[in-house]
Amino acid sequence: MAVSTEELAEEMLSMVTQYEGKKNLKAGDLTKAMIAKYGDEVDRKACKAAIRELMDSGRTVYSYFGGSYITLPKKEGAAPE
């Protein structure tokens, strides 16, 4: 049974949240982790769709620090909670 895009997106968001401030994760890192976890149930195309879903929903953003990384959106100092 294939893993749904929503389930992959939630798992990726969990991983990005877990490593926030500790390690910068690239899209390839997330893809490799999901393939390692789910094996043949996922492929690169499904992972790419899950990352796009996270980006389009605004739950994650791309950051650039010498390379492109997926991070959580930053809150501005005066922004309401």
End-to-end CA distance of the chain: 39
Residue 17: predicted pLDDT: 94
Residue 7: φ, ψ to 5°: -65, -40
Q: Are 50 and 9 in contact (CB under 8 A)?
A: yes
pLDDT tens per residue, range 21-75: 899 999 999 999 999 999 989 999 999 999 999 999 999 999 998 889 999 998 7
d(C-alpha 33, C-alpha 58), whole Å:
22
What DSSP character marks residue 25?
B
Domains and CATH numbers, the chain: 5-71 (1.10.10.10)
> Greatest CA span in the chain, whole angstroms?
46
